[in-house]
């Protein structure tokens, strides 16, 4: 058998030169037909006659006209220009916890018993789905050590929004909403921990790391005051470093009455080892689409599940899903001090169901094994990457990492002039990828690798061999690097078209107005 | 495009013979005596090799001979000579060349030299047209220079190809050379020039974006303006970030000087130390405020270009009324370093140590250590 | 008990672990996390139920719970109120369940070209339906779209107050309230008690030069078409405010698009465009505007743009990545993150499969069923259909207050007959006690309509 690198070097992604769907349009074609009138009790003229004439659309919307096979083929081709967890060794999107989403959970979530549930149905017809939501909360009692839960937020940032909204509702109730207008976070917490509280009207103070890579506790002491409403800490941080003094931070905060919010987006290495409760946080959120295996769907739908101590229940988003022997499972809207609603209806239930099923198939031992292997994979991968010419890690004198590492190509850049953006352009030629999200950009030429428990040793070996090969190319074959990618669905994209209002086109109609035929593929 | 091209042929000669710069004729003479050879032209050529092809159909303006003309001729680039320098080139030759290039309609200036050269160019050009500095001097504290001659070449190429999307104001810093030769490092902020923004922006596909420097400065300025109390005095220190506060208030202040603002109006422009003392002493201590920014690549909040803010002045203002503002890109560049207060008074420097919030956005601060 | 095997954790195999640990140079996995201090360690193992480790077990366990549901498909559904029992063409499910789309996340426009193109096409088709030039990659839901649209308006106009009508969907209203709080003031305007439309007098009384935007839901929560939308736009524009229209996209094959009656920003929910209800989990929001830079710059969402590649192919990327807010410095710029991209792809497939004629026919089919339902219900004793005189589209307000029975009781009895009754308006509008909001979709049959009319005759005697 060919070795992994040799196979990956021969990779070529499907390249259909797929037209824009409008270019496939042919007048009169239809993809699906819709039913006609349900009966002939009223005529079409009578029906349309009910509408005020000026509210009737005069033209037809300019949508493509395309028969079903041609439509399916188009999207089939597009999907082949997309790789996903199922198509590649997806360890290059660090902080995202890319992992396998078991197919049985897709089958369960695709059941008509979920698909066709209307959110406003009477609770007695929705006992199954309410039970799933409630029992997911019950599981998280043990996973987080906290008491009350909401699955409403539609993603990680939305989870932060829910926490910040709870913080505001709490201080309003305590009569200190005006005074407590600051939130403290750390530089290597997820960027949403700084960005989102600002939307809720907070001023955000950022703590930088000390030379060890830990948040500087002296700076934290200086920042903390009776104006602090809450702290938002990610742990381990996006560097992969676990803040070992975390309990000192929460102790100092609690002494000032401050609420402590734990961003558990990076929890994949912590299950069964340490929890929100042990670190003495009051609230946290978990990404069900990351740690708890629901697929990412090209960027959602997702769930940022909120967990809190029972003292904070009055401020949780409405409604809460509750159970009583008399009523069964039901939605409780009776939270007069609630922070309000965060999302339409009750949350992204298919994601909740997939995570529930995943946890129930692993149990306590299985979840602990998830984290143990995530840690093992990461440390194994780290040693391999650090052996690659031109690669190094952030905070090199702090070699201990949990489930991911932020690395640097600084040396590669110094030696060859090629940096992380160049590596990123090369890597699709090997049938895999890594991404560019590494805020804040203080680690030079950054890349972040998170080999979750789904990946085998061979997967990690192959991925690291690809990185080593690209490093070699940077040193020895600069021309090849400049012209990459060559084997991807498309070649180098001209990014001049994205920043200038005169040049960008966000829709096909805008393209046609500005350029019709100008840069159309020939 | 019309481009000015200028080489300071003697730049860099001091370094190899440990003279720390060649500003001043006496020093240059000693450098030559010590065996220094001109290197600026070879640095400039390294850059030129990269942008030459892109430059073939552009019009250059230059000074004759070693100040640029020779290099352009040898490389076959179309140029007009706007100035004939004297045999021993001086700072005046740089200034004259640049002003003639401007007169000829240059739309950008490329120059090779060190901090002294940058200062001379800046004194004529200011931030009117873009510049690109090819590093060739002994002292390179100015952010107007690219990291290496090669990088400068790439920037010029991108500029000529119309690929530069954004420009930023970069600091022109220079040492007091007399002090430097006595091993006293004392850089000063002399001005700002407009350079291509060469930061490689990575698209963060998950969590949103950061704004441009200009947008951020406006955010910071808005925050400071909003937090200003009536009937209290605000000294606005030197630098482009603090200048945006004055712009935000619609005040015609100074970029490099210290101005005073009272009730959102200008209460004093380009103040000297004694002016400042006079203004401050008219108000109770708690009504005196100072807004400063971080200057230079080492993270100075005092001691670089704001000498008017003497130890006496700083002592007149409560520590909690000193506000430091900066762009987050500046703070990122200083990542891992402490801020520095170099007031000239070691006792005061000691008092200023500790943690301070640096305002980097409308609702965003970074805790920084003054150490 | 034998060795545990985890099909989703290949490196749980002890031999592999041993080999990897040797390579790293440590004895155990515990050695790798030795610095996590004892004080934050769990003192005992998690207490979770015994797992269903085999696939048969987990399938039976979860489906056993879900089988307790009685779905809208198993009942005759007349419930709408912001989530619609629309038919989802099989082709939509086929595309979004392709694992290349389902399991991808945030790759680059090279190896994830497909998702960029699919979403660019979604943006393009939505823009055509709305007759605007720009549409975003979907937000969390319609509520978020409305909230963000209003915040965009506050930044563009540099004002801090918005007007929201009381006939807005109350679920959307609650999210808007959370999201705009604390810095944007919401002023509520009444609906006209007779027509169900926004009360123009109330709007006029509250409009001022402090107002950034007037929100209009069209059709509004009572199903009534806001046919004075142009007047509302004119009134808003007169004081320099923007008009934000929250529209139901599935009506736009028949109804005038918002840009034609002066809306500056359109927003809404795309669930009805080919996304299963999923107990309210199948939601995603859109925002659309003109292409003016001052509008585009204020989107917090992803916007995919088209560009050529070095080989002359179609390429895509993020437009205005470092989107800046040059306008109102005191307003937060919001945030972006994992939202609902997959549902955007679904809606794109839906719109392409329907085409221009399909969207028109869809609107007509819904409208026809609504007229038919109204006709049938008119025969039921004690039921009043003229609570609001405004023109309905897919939902109608049915007033049971003259029957002596509450909506709750009526719905209970309908359910016994296998009918999912309407939304009890009293839940959010105390003044509408006894009123129910009934909804039809293209899936509603004449048998369904006959069934509810018969059932009501029986229940109400």
Cβ atoms of residues C290 and C85 within 8 Å: no
| Burial (CB count within 10 angstroms: exposed 0-12, middle 13-18, buried 19+), residue B296 | buried
* Residue-level pLDDT at B305: 64
Band (pLDDT 50/70/90 cuts) for residue B204 is: very low
Count the residues in chain C.
Answer: 461
Crossing angle of the two packed helices C14-24 and A457-476, in degrees rounded to 10: 40
Give residue C39's domain range. 10-61
Size of interface A-B (CB pairs under 8 A): 85
Size of interface A-C (CB pairs under 8 A): 732
Query: Mean pLDDT score of chain A, rounded to an integer?
Result: 95
Cβ atoms of residues A317 and A151 within 8 Å: no
* Residue C433 to chain A, least CA–CA distance (Å): 18
Cβ atoms of residues C342 and C102 within 8 Å: yes
Cβ contact C105–A121 (<8 Å): no
The per-residue pLDDT for range A262-277, each reduced to its tens digit, is: 999 999 999 999 999 9
**Which residues in chain B have their CB less than 8 angstroms from residue C329's CB?**
218-219, 222-223, 362
**Looking at the predicted structure, is the pLDDT value of residue B214 above 60?**
yes
The per-residue pLDDT for range C172-200, each reduced to its tens digit, is: 999 999 999 999 999 999 999 999 999 99
Q: Is residue C254 part of a domain?
A: yes
Cβ atoms of residues C373 and C436 within 8 Å: no
Can you tell me whether residue C280 is helix, strand or coil?
helix
* H/E element, A135: helix A127-144
Among A132-146, A163-177, B159-173, C94-108, name the one with the lowest average pLDDT: B159-173
- Indicate if the alpha-carbon torsion angle A237, A239, A245, A249 is positive or negative: negative
Distance CA C252, CA A115 (A): 25
| Burial (CB count within 10 angstroms: exposed 0-12, middle 13-18, buried 19+), residue A178 | exposed
Extract the tokens encoding B276: 């400042």
Q: Are strands B322-325 and B354-361 parallel, antiparallel or unpaired?
A: parallel
- Indicate if the alpha-carbon torsion angle A361, A366, A368, A371 is positive or negative: negative
**Looking at the predicted structure, is the pLDDT value of residue C326 above 60?**
no
Among B82-91, C81-90, C367-376, C392-401, name the one with the lowest average pLDDT: B82-91
Nearest Cβ partner for C329 among B201, B204, B362: B362
**Category of C25 on φ-ψ map: left (φ > 0), alpha (ψ -120 to 50) or beta:** left
Distance CA A396, CA A409 (A): 13
- Whole-model pTM above 0.95? no
Cβ contact C36–A273 (<8 Å): yes
Count the residues in chain A.
Answer: 522
Distance CA A149, CA A320 (A): 8
Q: Is residue C427 part of a domain?
A: yes
Distance CA C291, CA C268 (A): 19
Render B303-365 in DSSP notation, one character per residue: SSS-TTS-HHHHHTS-GGGEEEE--HHHHHHTTT--BEE--S-HHHHHHT-EEEEEEEETTEE
Distance CA C280, CA C286 (A): 16
Name residues whose C-beta falls within 8 Å of residue B206's C-beta, 6 or more positions apart in sequence. A95, A96, A435, A437, C106, C337, C338
Q: How far is CA A381 from CA A384, A423, A434, A459, A479, in A?
A: 5, 18, 15, 10, 28
* Residue-level pLDDT at C330: 54
Distance CA C186, CA C177 (A): 8
Residue to test with chain C: of B200, B214, B215, most C Cβ within 10 A? B215
* Residue-level pLDDT at C332: 59
- Please name the residue that has the structure tokens 């007007």: C163
* Residue-level pLDDT at C327: 45
Name residues whose C-beta falls within 8 Å of residue C238's C-beta, 6 or more positions apart in sequence. C207
HSE-CB for C245 with a 13 A CA cutoff:
29
Closest-CA residue to A373 (of C43, C5, C13, C49): C13
Omega within 30 of 0 (cis) for the link into A338? no
Cβ contact B328–A435 (<8 Å): no
Cβ contact A198–B200 (<8 Å): no
**Which residues in chain C have their CB less than 8 angstroms from residue B359's CB?**
none
Cβ contact C106–B205 (<8 Å): yes
A461: how many CB neighbours lie within 10 A of its CB? 17
Cβ contact C112–A82 (<8 Å): yes
**Which residues in chain B have their CB less than 8 angstroms from residue C324's CB?**
211-212, 215
Distance CA A8, CA A10 (A): 5
**Looking at the predicted structure, is the pLDDT value of residue B181 above 80?**
no
Nearest Cβ partner for A369 among C12, C99, C229: C12
Q: What are the start-end ranges of the H helices in B166-255?
A: 177-181, 213-226, 240-249
**Which residues in chain C have their CB less than 8 angstroms from residue B206's CB?**
106, 337-338
Distance CA C277, CA C228 (A): 31
Tell the CATH topology of B2-196.
Answer: Rossmann fold (3.40.50)
Name residues whose C-beta falls within 8 Å of residue A138's C-beta, 6 or more positions apart in sequence. none
In chain A, what are the domains? 107-361 (3.40.640.10)
Can you tell me whether residue A152 is helix, strand or coil?
coil
Distance CA C414, CA C393 (A): 23
Strands (E), A385-461: 392-393, 405-408, 446-449
Distance CA A352, CA A302 (A): 9
* H/E element, C239: none
Among A418-422, C69-73, C417-421, name the one with the lowest average pLDDT: A418-422
Choose the final residue of a domain: C299, C323, C351. Answer: C351
Name residues whose C-beta falls within 8 Å of residue A139's C-beta, 6 or more positions apart in sequence. A356, A359, A360, C48, C49
Residues C52, C115, single domain; the answer is no
Can you tell me whether residue A4 is helix, strand or coil?
helix
Chain A contact present for C95, CB below 8 A: yes
Cβ atoms of residues C436 and C397 within 8 Å: yes
**Looking at the predicted structure, is the pLDDT value of residue B114 above 70?**
yes
All residue ranges of chain A with pLDDT < 50 are none
Residue to test with chain C: of B208, B212, B214, B225, most C Cβ within 10 A? B208
* Residue-level pLDDT at B206: 39
Strand partners, B370: B339, B354
Residues C296, C310, single domain; the answer is yes
Residue to test with chain A: of B202, B226, B354, most A Cβ within 10 A? B202
**Looking at the predicted structure, is the pLDDT value of residue C452 above 90?**
yes
Residues C187, C128, single domain; the answer is yes
Cβ atoms of residues B234 and C355 within 8 Å: no
Nearest Cβ partner for A490 among C6, C94, C315: C315
Can you tell me whether residue B235 is helix, strand or coil?
strand
Cβ atoms of residues A293 and C6 within 8 Å: no
- Please name the residue that has the structure tokens 């299950």: A271
Band (pLDDT 50/70/90 cuts) for residue B329 is: confident
* Residue-level pLDDT at B25: 73
**Which residues in chain C have their CB less than 8 angstroms from residue A100's CB?**
8
* Residue-level pLDDT at B202: 44
* Residue-level pLDDT at C42: 96
Q: Across residues B147-171, what is the average pLDDT?
A: 87
Strands (E), C190-273: 211-218, 242-247, 265-269
**Which residues in chain C have their CB less than 8 angstroms from residue A82's CB?**
100-101, 104, 107, 111-115
Q: Is residue C69 part of a domain?
A: no
* Residue-level pLDDT at C325: 46
Residues C338, C445, single domain; the answer is no
Band (pLDDT 50/70/90 cuts) for residue B19 is: low
Residues C368, C341, single domain; the answer is no
* Residue C120 to chain B, least CA–CA distance (Å): 16
List the chains bordering chain C where 3 or more Cβ pairs fall under 8 Å: A, B
Band (pLDDT 50/70/90 cuts) for residue B216 is: confident
Extract the tokens encoding B258: 């210290």
Cβ atoms of residues B139 and B180 within 8 Å: yes
Cβ contact B212–C317 (<8 Å): no
The per-residue pLDDT for range B82-111, each reduced to its tens digit, is: 999 988 888 899 999 999 999 999 999 999
Q: Is the ipTM of this complex over 0.90?
A: yes
How are the residues of chain A apportioned to helix, strand and coil, as percentages rounded to the nearest 5?
Answer: 40, 10, 50
Distance CA C136, CA C151 (A): 15
HSE-CB for C390 with a 13 A CA cutoff:
30
Band (pLDDT 50/70/90 cuts) for residue B17 is: low
List the chains bordering chain B where 3 or more Cβ pairs fall under 8 Å: A, C
Cβ contact C329–B222 (<8 Å): yes
Q: What are the start-end ranges of the H helices in C53-190?
A: 55-66, 90-96, 99-102, 113-130, 142-157, 170-180
**Which residues in chain C have their CB less than 8 angstroms from residue A95's CB?**
none
* Residue-level pLDDT at C59: 98
Closest-CA residue to B116 (of B213, B19, B257, B32): B19
**Which residues in chain C have their CB less than 8 angstroms from residue B222's CB?**
329-330
List the chains bordering chain A where 3 or more Cβ pairs fall under 8 Å: B, C
Residues C160, C238, single domain; the answer is yes
Q: Are strands A283-287 and A304-308 parallel, antiparallel or unpaired?
A: antiparallel
**Which residues in chain A have their CB less than 8 angstroms from residue C146's CB?**
none
Cβ contact A190–B363 (<8 Å): no
Q: Where are the domains of chain B?
A: 2-196, 213-370
**Which residues in chain C have their CB less than 8 angstroms from residue A317's CB?**
178
Distance CA A303, CA C49 (A): 23
Count the residues in chain B.
Answer: 371
CATH number at residue C185: 3.40.640.10
Closest-CA residue to C270 (of C246, C288, C248): C248
Chain B contact present for C332, CB below 8 A: yes
Cβ atoms of residues C332 and B363 within 8 Å: yes
Omega within 30 of 0 (cis) for the link into C219? yes
**Looking at the predicted structure, is the pLDDT value of residue C361 above 70?**
yes
* Residue C166 to chain B, least CA–CA distance (Å): 33
Choose the final residue of a domain: C300, C330, C351. Answer: C351
Q: What percent of chain B has pLDDT over 90?
A: 54
Q: How many domains does chain C have?
A: 3
**Which residues in chain A have their CB less than 8 angstroms from residue C255's CB?**
51, 55-57
């Amino acid at each position: 058998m060919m070795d992994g690198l040799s196979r990956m070097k021969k990779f070529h992604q499907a390249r259909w030169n797929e037209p824009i769907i409008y270019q496939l349009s042919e007048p009169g074609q239809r993809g699906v037909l819709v039913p006609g009138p349900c009966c002939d009790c009223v005529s079409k003229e009578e029906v349309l006659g009910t509408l005020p004439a000026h509210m009737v659309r005069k033209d037809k919307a300019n949508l493509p006209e395309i028969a079903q096979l041609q439509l399916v083929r188009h999207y089939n081709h597009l999907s082949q220009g997309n790789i996903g967890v199922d198509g590649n060794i997806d360890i290059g999107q660090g902080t995202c916890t890319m992992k396998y989403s078991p197919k049985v959970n897709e089958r369960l979530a695709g059941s008509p018993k979920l698909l066709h549930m209307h959110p406003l149905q009477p609770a007695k017809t929705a006992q199954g789905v309410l039970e799933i939501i409630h029992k997911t909360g019950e599981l998280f009692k043990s996973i987080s050590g906290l008491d009350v839960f909401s699955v409403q937020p539609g993603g990680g940032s939305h989870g932060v929004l829910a926490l910040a909204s709870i913080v505001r509702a709490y201080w309003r109730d305590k009569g200190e909403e005006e005074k407590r207008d600051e939130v403290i976070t750390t530089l290597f917490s997820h960027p949403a921990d700084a960005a989102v509280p600002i939307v809720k009207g907070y001023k955000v103070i950022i703590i930088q790391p000390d030379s060890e890579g830990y948040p500087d506790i002296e700076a934290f002491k200086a920042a903390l005051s009776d104006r602090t409403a809450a702290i938002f800490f990610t742990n381990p941080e996006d560097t992969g470093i676990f803040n070992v003094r975390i309990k000192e931070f929460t102790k100092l905060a609690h002494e000032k009455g401050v609420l402590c919010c734990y961003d558990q987006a990076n929890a994949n290495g912590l299950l069964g080892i340490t929890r929100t409760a042990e670190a003495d946080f009051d609230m946290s959120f978990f990404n069900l689409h990351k740690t708890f295996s629901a697929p990412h769907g090209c960027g959602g739908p997702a769930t940022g599940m909120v967990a809190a101590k029972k003292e904070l229940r009055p401020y949780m988003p409405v409604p809460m899903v509750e159970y009583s022997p008399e009523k069964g499972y039901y939605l409780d809207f009776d939270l007069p001090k609630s922070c309000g609603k965060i999302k339409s209806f009750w949350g992204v239930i298919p994601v909740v169901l997939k995570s529930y099923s995943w946890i129930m198939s692993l149990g306590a031992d299985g979840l602990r094994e998830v984290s143990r292997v995530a840690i093992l994979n990461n440390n194994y991968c780290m040693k391999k990457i650090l052996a690659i010419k031109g690669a190094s890690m952030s905070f090199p004198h702090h070699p201990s990492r949990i489930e991911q590492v932020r690395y640097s190509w600084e040396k590669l850049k110094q030696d060859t002039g090629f940096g992380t953006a160049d590596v990123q352009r090369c890597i699709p030629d090997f049938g895999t990828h890594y991404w560019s999200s590494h805020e804040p950009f203080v680690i030079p030429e950054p890349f972040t690798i998170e080999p979750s428990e789904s990946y085998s040793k061979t997967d990690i070996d192959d991925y690291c061999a690809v990185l080593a090969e690209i490093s070699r190319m940077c040193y020895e074959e600069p021309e090849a690097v400049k012209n990459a990618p060559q084997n991807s669905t498309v070649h180098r994209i001209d990014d001049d078209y994205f920043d200038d209002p005169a040049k960008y086109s966000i829709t096909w109609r805008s393209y046609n107005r500005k350029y019709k035929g100008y840069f159309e593929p020939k | 495009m019309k481009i000015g091209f200028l080489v300071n042929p003697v730049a860099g000669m001091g370094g190899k013979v440990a003279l720390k710069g060649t500003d001043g004729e006496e020093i240059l003479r000693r450098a030559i005596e010590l065996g220094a050879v001109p290197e600026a032209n070879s640095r400039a050529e390294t850059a030129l090799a990269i942008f030459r092809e892109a430059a073939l159909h552009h019009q250059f303006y230059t000074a004759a001979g070693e100040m640029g003309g020779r290099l352009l001729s040898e490389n076959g680039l179309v140029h007009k000579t706007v100035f004939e320098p004297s045999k021993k080139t001086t700072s005046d030759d740089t200034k004259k060349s640049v002003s003639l290039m401007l007169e000829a309609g240059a739309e950008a200036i490329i120059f090779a030299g060190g901090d002294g050269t940058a200062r001379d160019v800046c004194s004529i050009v200011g931030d009117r047209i873009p510049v690109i500095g090819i590093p060739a001097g002994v002292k390179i504290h100015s952010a107007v220079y690219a990291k290496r001659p090669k990088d400068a070449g790439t920037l010029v190429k991108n500029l000529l190809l119309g690929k530069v999307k954004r420009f930023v104001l970069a600091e022109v810093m220079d040492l007091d050379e007399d002090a430097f030769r006595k091993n006293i490092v004392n850089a000063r902020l002399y001005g700002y020039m407009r350079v291509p923004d060469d930061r490689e922006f990575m698209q963060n596909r998950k969590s949103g974006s950061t704004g441009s420097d200009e947008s951020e400065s406006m955010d910071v300025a808005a925050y400071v303006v909003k937090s200003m109390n009536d009937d209290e005095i605000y000294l606005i220190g030197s630098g482009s970030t603090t200048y945006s506060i004055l712009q935000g208030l619609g005040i015609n202040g100074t970029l490099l000087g210290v101005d005073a603002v009272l009730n959102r109006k200008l209460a004093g422009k380009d103040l000297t130390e004694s002016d400042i003392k006079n203004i401050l002493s008219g108000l109770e201590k708690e009504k005196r405020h100072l807004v400063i920014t971080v200057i230079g690549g080492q993270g100075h909040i005092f001691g670089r270009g704001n000498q008017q803010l003497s130890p006496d002045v700083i002592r007149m203002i409560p520590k909690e009324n000193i506000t430091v503002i900066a762009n987050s890109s500046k703070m990122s560049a200083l990542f891992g370093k402490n801020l520095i207060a170099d007031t000239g008074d070691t006792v005061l420097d000691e008092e200023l140590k500790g943690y301070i919030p640096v305002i980097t956005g409308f609702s965003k601060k970074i805790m920084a250590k003054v150490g | 008990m034998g060795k545990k095997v985890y099909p989703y954790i290949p490196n749980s195999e002890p031999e592999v672990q041993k080999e990897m640990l040797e390579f790293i140079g440590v004895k155990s996995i515990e050695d790798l996390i030795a610095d996590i201090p004892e004080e934050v360690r769990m003192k005992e193992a998690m207490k979770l139920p015994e797992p269903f480790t085999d696939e048969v077990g987990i399938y039976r366990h979860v489906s056993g719970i879900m089988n307790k549901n009685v779905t809208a498909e198993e009942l005759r559904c007349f419930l709408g109120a912001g989530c619609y029992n629309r038919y989802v063409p099989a082709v939509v499910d086929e595309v979004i369940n392709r694992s290349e789309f389902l399991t991808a996340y945030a790759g680059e426009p090279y190896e994830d070209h497909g998702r960029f193109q699919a979403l660019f096409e979604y943006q393009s088709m939505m823009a055509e339906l709305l007759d605007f030039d720009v549409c975003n990659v979907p937000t969390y839901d319609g509520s978020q779209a409305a909230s963000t649209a209003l915040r965009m308006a506050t930044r563009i106009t540099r004002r801090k107050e918005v007007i929201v009508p009381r006939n807005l969907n109350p679920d959307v209203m609650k999210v808007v309230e959370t999201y705009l709080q604390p810095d944007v003031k919401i002023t509520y305007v009444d609906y006209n008690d007779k027509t169900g439309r926004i009360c123009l007098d109330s709007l006029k009384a509250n409009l001022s030069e402090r107002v950034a935007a007037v929100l209009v839901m069209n059709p509004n929560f009572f199903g009534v078409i806001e046919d004075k939308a142009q007047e509302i736009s004119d009134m808003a524009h007169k004081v320099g405010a923007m008009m934000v229209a929250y529209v139901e996209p599935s009506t736009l094959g028949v109804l005038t698009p918002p840009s034609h009656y002066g809306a500056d920003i359109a927003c809404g929910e795309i669930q009805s465009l080919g996304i299963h209800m999923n107990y309210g989990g199948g939601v995603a929001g859109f925002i659309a505007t003109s292409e003016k830079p001052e509008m585009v710059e204020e989107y917090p969402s992803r916007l995919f743009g088209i560009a050529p590649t070095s080989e002359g192919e179609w390429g895509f990327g993020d437009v205005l990545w470092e989107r800046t807010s040059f306008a109102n410095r005191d307003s937060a710029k919001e945030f972006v993150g994992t939202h609902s991209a997959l549902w955007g792809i679904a809606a794109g497939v839906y719109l392409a499969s329907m085409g221009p004629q399909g969207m028109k026919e869809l609107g007509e089919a819904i409208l026809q069923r609504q007229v038919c339902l109204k006709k049938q219900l008119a025969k039921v004793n004690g039921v009043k259909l003229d609570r609001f005189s405004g023109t309905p589209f897919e939902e109608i307000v049915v007033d049971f207050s003259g029957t002596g029975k509450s909506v709750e009781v009526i719905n209970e009895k309908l359910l016994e007959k296998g009918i999912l009754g309407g939304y009890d308006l009293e839940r959010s509008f105390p003044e509408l006690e006894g009123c129910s909001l009934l909804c039809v979709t293209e899936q509603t049959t004449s048998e369904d309509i006959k069934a509810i009319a018969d059932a009501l005759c029986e229940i109400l005697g």
